[in-house]
Amino acid sequence: MTKSNGCLHPVWRELIGSLPSPGLVTLIGGGGKTSLMYYLVAGLKASGAAAFAAATAKLFMPEGTGHRAVLVSTLAELRQTVEQLSNRPELVTVARGLADGGERKLAGLAPEWLDILAGEYPSVRFVVEGDGSAGLPLKGHLPHDPVVPSVTRLLIPVIGAEAIGRPLAADCVHRPARAAELAGAIEGATITADMIATILLHPDGYLHNCPPEACVVPFINKAEGAAMCPAEELAAAVLAAGHPAVGGVVVGSMRRQEFFFIRK
């Protein structure tokens, strides 16, 4: 497993660099999704690429990441922001104002706006967070989510390896009842690699609203120490399913910035 030296890791550089235009990347799920988004944007900017972080769901204000938030209320303002800041070194998260409720969260952009901007600026990389998971490593999706821009070319479902072996319950799974339904399991059952693979690849689960042209590359995060073998078992289960959209699986650790790519 190779460690990043501060620039974008070769695994991610290859995956994002090989994207057809428009190069929009959407991250969904939980277990390190927001950290990965900011890491990818910072790495792209460090390599000289034009890149922005964004979300179609609520997103915590960027703090301690070197990013600043730019709030826009119209498509025209978003377009102006992209034109003005694409070539600057600063790390920018674009959002549609502040979310309601008094939390330090940003309101997500309309996915249609991102579709339009990605088409108008094909050299710009947009890295988009497409749902929330309440900070938990596994999620049961409802019909309204994830919210994935239709021009997404790389869809990265993020799963925390620490979920394997734990009970399918609210302290580990966002919406455990829904996750159990998708997995064909009972709430409270021990989470297995096969169970997660079923939820991940279910057409009403993580891949709900996956654009037909998107390549799906799941990222199994927190593959460290005792969690490494379960993470590899999960990667094998995902690839064994033979889903046509899945191009491979990344296994690694955001904390250590170590990653390896298991090709299909």
Q: How much is the average pLDDT of 37-46?
A: 93
Rounded CA gap, 46 and 38, in Å?
12
Cα(228)–Cα(14) distance, rounded to whole angstroms?
A: 23
pLDDT band at 264 (very low <50, low <70, confident <90, very high): confident
- Residues 237-261 have a mean pLDDT of 96
Which 3 state secondary structure label does DSSP give 103? coil
Closest CA to 145 of 159, 131, 129: 131
Please, what are the domains in the chain?
Answer: 2-263 (3.40.50)
Instruction: Identify the pLDDT of residue 146.
Output: 95
Distance CA 226, CA 188 (A): 22
The structure's pTM equals: 0.95
pLDDT, tens digit (0-9, with 9 covering 90-100), for 141-196: 998 999 999 999 999 999 999 999 999 999 999 999 999 999 999 999 999 999 99
pLDDT at 186: 96
Average pLDDT, the chain: 92
pLDDT above 80 for 71: yes
Q: What is the mean pLDDT of residues 76-80?
A: 97
Q: Which pLDDT tens digit goes with each residue over 100-152?
A: 765 678 999 999 999 999 999 999 999 999 999 999 999 999 989 999 999 99
